[in-house]
Each structure stands twice: as C-alpha cells, then as structure tokens.
Amino acid sequence: MAEDHYQDAPGFLREFLFYLLTVKGRSVRTVDAYYIDLRTFLRYLKCSKMTGEFPEDLSDVAISDIPVSVIQAVTLSDVYEYLNYTLTGRENSAKTRSRKVSSLRSFFRYLHIKTTLLPTNPVENLEVPSVRKSLPKYLTLEQSLELLAGSMEPGSERDYAMLTLFLNCGMRLSELVGINLGDFNTKEHSLRLLGKGNKERIVYLNDACIAAVERYLAVRPRPKRTPKDQNALFLSRTGSRISPRRVEQIITACLGRIGLQGQGYSVHKLRHTAATLMYQHGQVDIRVLQDILGHANLSTTEIYTHIAERQVEEAMKNSPLAKVKAKKTPQP
C-alpha cells in the first residue's frame, strides 16, 4: 500500500500517518497497518454516529467526508462499543483487538498532544485486551540441519544462503529482503540490518553465513539497472530485489521438502528457531540475545528462557525412571 492510498482518509488521519512516516520514522508497512486499523474504526464511527446504518461489509463505507467534530465527540464508551463490534461482528481475536487498541491509543495521543484538535484524550484509560502468551513454535536442531541439507544442491545457492542467514542471525523477513551489498563489513565479518522503526543494528556473521553468501554471490544474477535492484543482495530470477512474498514462498517450499509444510512453520518461525538455538546451545546471555534480535523490550526476549524451562520440565517427565516408585509398606 503506497502513501497515495491514504487519499481516501480525512485530513486529520492523513496528517497522523505522515507524522508516523516522516517524524517517527516508521516503515511504510507499519504505517499501512495503522491505516487499516484506523480506517475500520472510522468506518464504524460513520455508521454509528452519522448514518445510523451498518452494512454487512464496511469496506464500501467512505471515510473522507468524516468531519473532525465526530472525532472530538468520541468517548471511552464509544471505543469499547467498537471493540465489542470487532469481537462479535468481525470475530477478531484478542491479539487483533489488542493491536487495534494500540493504534487507537497512538492516534488519539497524537491528536491530543501534537495538535489542538482534542483538549482531552478519551482513550487515556483504555485497557488492552488480555492476550494469552504462548510459547513460540520453532524447529529443533535436527530439523534445522535437515532443512539446510535439503537446499544444498547446485541451483539453490540463493535459497540456501537465505536459510542460513535466517537460522544463524535470527533476522526478520523485512530485514533480509532489505540487505544491500554495502551493508557487509568484510573486515569485521559483520552485517548492518535495518529493523523495526528504521533502527539499525549490527549482527556478526559466522563461517557458515560467510560461506553461504559467497557461494551465492558467485552465481548471483545480473541485477536490473535501478539503484534498489543493483544494490540488493538477494535478487529474483529477473534481476529485481526479491519480494517478501517470494521469500515466504521459497521457505514454504523448503519446509515442504522435509515434510513440515502446513504444520504452522513459517519464515518468522525461523527467527524463533535461531533465537532458541542460540539460547539453548550457544550459552548466549539473554541481554545479548535481545541485541541480536533487535527487541526493544527485554520482556519480548525472555520468552526464550521459558522455552528452556519447558524443555527441562519435559525432560524430567520423560526420564525412564520417572514412574519408578517404591512399593507401599504393608501396614502391621
């Protein structure tokens, strides 16, 4: 979704989105997500406050004509009614509703603090729906080795290099797609990544990563002449920078070759796998792991300590002596 797609948004929403892009430095993908969430909220407001009619599909409801007075009249009760609608009318999960709450809080905080449109913030006390925290899904060490072995044949140099970087560096999909040739520091064997919120971080490459990238560069196709394609590390067969969707398709195919397709594994699960293997086998301190993964909060990284605790618990339960009990002494 490009910036010109925001043209159907009212001025106050468009200004907020451009504020996120230019001042806060959020990525286009992140701002698009804000836009989709807030567009749904404004469509709901228009139906509930202006027209009084709710069509089965809100996607045809235009929001460009919503006056700022509608936003100024929003109450906390209105927002809770909207969240109830997303639960009952759209069957949004707690995680999805939690994301929508985050978008609303950022939006109204901007209108209250950065502009003069709202004298008070109606969602200041808006609570986030509780989301059940589950342990991330990841590949075992044996599955990871099998996944790499399945992509070692000639002609798969690019796919093997991508898998190697995912499993060794724990990078995000957007970070891998955005790698440029100039991001490598060959003297220090390091790589500069552009993460969430346009935050840069450095990851250090082990021998496996260096060898896989060099092997791919030897057969890298001729790039197109546009700057974004010439500098890109990973290219499509036509010479353009590879797209996130294409990487997802490649990883899905690689997983399918070892019988793991359709079992909930994905590109992001490779990031979980890298973090889990580093914590379990690499004796990596949790704060170092936080820096490697580019997590803003340590609490996000700490879930990998729970993985280790769960495995210890399972190992104890599966001990061959776990069910050996002394016979009861007969009572005299």
For 11, how many CA atoms within 13 A lie in the half-sphere containing its CB? 5
Query: For residue 192, which phi and psi values (nearest 5 degrees)?
Result: -90, 125
Dump pLDDT digits (tens) for 74-87: 999 999 999 998 88
Q: Which of helix, strand or coil describes residue 217? A: helix
The pLDDT mean for the chain works out to 84
What percent of the chain has a predicted confidence (pLDDT) above 70? 85
Q: Report CA 172 to chain centroid distance, whole Å.
A: 7
Dump pLDDT digits (tens) for 16-38: 999 998 888 888 888 999 999 99
- Side by side, the strands of the sheet bearing 200-204 are 184-185, 190-194, 200-204
The answer to whether residue 2 scores a pLDDT higher than 50 is no
Question: What pLDDT score does 28 carry?
Answer: 83
Question: What pLDDT score does 207 carry?
Answer: 92
For 6, how many CA atoms within 13 A lie in the half-sphere containing its CB? 23
Dump pLDDT digits (tens) for 245-294: 999 999 999 999 888 877 778 888 888 888 888 877 766 777 777 777 77
Active site residues: 172, 196, 268, 271, 295, 304
Query: For residue 217, which phi and psi values (nearest 5 degrees)?
Result: -60, -25
Band (121; pLDDT cuts 50, 70, 90): very high
Would you tell me the crossing angle of helices 94-109 and 76-88 to the nearest 10 degrees?
Answer: 150
Nearest to 89 by CA among 40, 51, 38: 40
Amino acid 140 reads T
Mean pLDDT of 150-174: 91
A 10 A CB-CB count for 161 gives 23
- How close are the terminal C-alpha atoms of the chain, in Å? 81
